[in-house]
């Protein structure tokens, strides 16, 4: 039975009114897909920034790196990444520290990393560091001048490295011209070398005799020294190496290193 003109017009009206709804639905689906892609990209970017950063990543730094459209997205992205890490049983997580975010290994891996990093640190001591430690151990408390004289080279960078590792410490200042700093070994030094006292180390008598002769020569020259400004802690040089640090079971995770626990 043919449509009447009125029925035909009504049918066309219904078709026209339904087309925008269908088109609008397709747009929403496309927008949702695009948003998912953007979110995944931002999660990837955030992860890269966290790995590369040596400082807590702030909201401002994240937006500056990624773009203004990412403003306000950081907390949700962190939550999404942490959920993903937990679901996949990854060894690390993102924590909020000092007004920003950083990647840390999970606390359950603390003992494993402490053992690994302790052994790794043991192999990293250079010959210069070992020489300086020997002088400080057998002579200590000792000045930097003493160490430089025995080694024949500047020891500033080495001393900074050893201070960072907590193998030595500053005891005070010598009652000499310029008030130089005095260095001595720490309990960490004894634990590191597995001894209970300095006398357990080899070549104790030989180095003690050598240092005694040096000290006698220094005393003869003290009257010739002029007043000098007080010595400060040695500045970092190329000899200085970064020492990983951490706390409470979490270890900092970056592209360069994983931190070891401090005392």
The alpha carbon of residue 147 and the mean position of all alpha carbons in its chain are separated, in whole angstroms, by: 30
Q: How confident is the model at residue 17 (pLDDT cuts 50, 70, 90)?
A: very low
User: What percent of the chain clears pLDDT 90, i.e. is strictly above it?
Assistant: 5
Residue holding tokens 């937006």? 63
Q: What are phi and psi of 93, to 5 degrees?
A: -155, 165
**Residues 129-148, mean pLDDT to the nearest whole number:** 88
Classify residue 143 as exposed, middle or buried by CB count within 10 Å of its CB (0-12, 13-18, 19+): buried
Domains annotated for the chain, with CATH where assigned, are 19-107 (1.10.10.10), 127-224 (1.10.10.10)
Whether the Cβ atoms of residue 218 and residue 176 lie closer than 8 Å to each other: no
Predicted local distance difference test score (pLDDT) of residue 218: 54
Q: Is the pLDDT score of 80 beyond 80?
A: yes
Per residue in 85-121, pLDDT (tens digit) is: 888 888 889 888 777 888 888 888 888 888 887 766 6
**Residues 124-137, mean pLDDT to the nearest whole number:** 84
Pairing relationship of beta strands 246-247 and 168-173 according to DSSP bridges? unpaired
223 or 76: whose pLDDT is higher?
Answer: 76
Whether the Cβ atoms of residue 236 and residue 164 lie closer than 8 Å to each other: no
The alpha carbon of residue 68 and the mean position of all alpha carbons in its chain are separated, in whole angstroms, by: 28
pTM (predicted TM-score) = 0.39
Predicted local distance difference test score (pLDDT) of residue 3: 54
**Per-chain mean pLDDT for the chain:** 72
**Residues 68-73, mean pLDDT to the nearest whole number:** 84
Exposed e or buried b for every residue in 57-90, given b needs 16+ CB within 10 A? bebebbbeebeeebeebbeebbebbbeebeeeee
**Residues 239-247, mean pLDDT to the nearest whole number:** 41
């Amino acid at each position: 039975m043919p449509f009447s003109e009125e029925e035909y017009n009504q049918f066309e009206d219904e078709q026209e009114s339904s087309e925008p709804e269908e088109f609008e639905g397709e747009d929403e689906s496309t927008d949702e897909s695009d948003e998912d892609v953007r979110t995944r990209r931002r999660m990837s970017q955030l992860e890269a920034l966290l790995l590369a950063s040596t400082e807590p990543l702030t909201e401002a730094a994240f937006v500056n790196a990624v773009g203004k459209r990412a403003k306000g997205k950081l907390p949700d992205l962190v939550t999404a990444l942490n959920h993903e890490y937990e679901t996949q049983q990854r060894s690390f997580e993102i924590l909020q520290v000092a007004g920003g975010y950083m990647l840390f290994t999970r606390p359950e891996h603390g003992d494993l990393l402490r053992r690994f990093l302790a052994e790794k640190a043991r192999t990293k001591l250079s010959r210069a560091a070992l020489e300086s430690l020997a002088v400080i151990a057998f002579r200590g408390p000792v000045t930097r001048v003493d160490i430089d004289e025995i080694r024949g080279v500047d020891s500033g960078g080495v001393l900074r490295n050893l201070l960072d590792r907590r193998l030595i410490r500053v005891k005070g200042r010598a009652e000499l011209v310029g008030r130089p700093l005095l260095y001595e070994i720490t309990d960490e030094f004894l634990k590191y070398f597995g001894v209970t006292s300095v006398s357990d180390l080899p070549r104790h008598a030989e180095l003690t005799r050598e240092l005694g002769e040096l000290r006698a020569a220094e005393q003869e020259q003290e009257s010739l020294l002029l007043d000098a400004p007080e010595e400060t802690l040695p500045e970092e040089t190329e000899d200085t190496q970064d020492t990983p640090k951490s706390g409470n079971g979490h270890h900092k995770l970056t592209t360069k290193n994983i931190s070891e626990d401090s005392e």
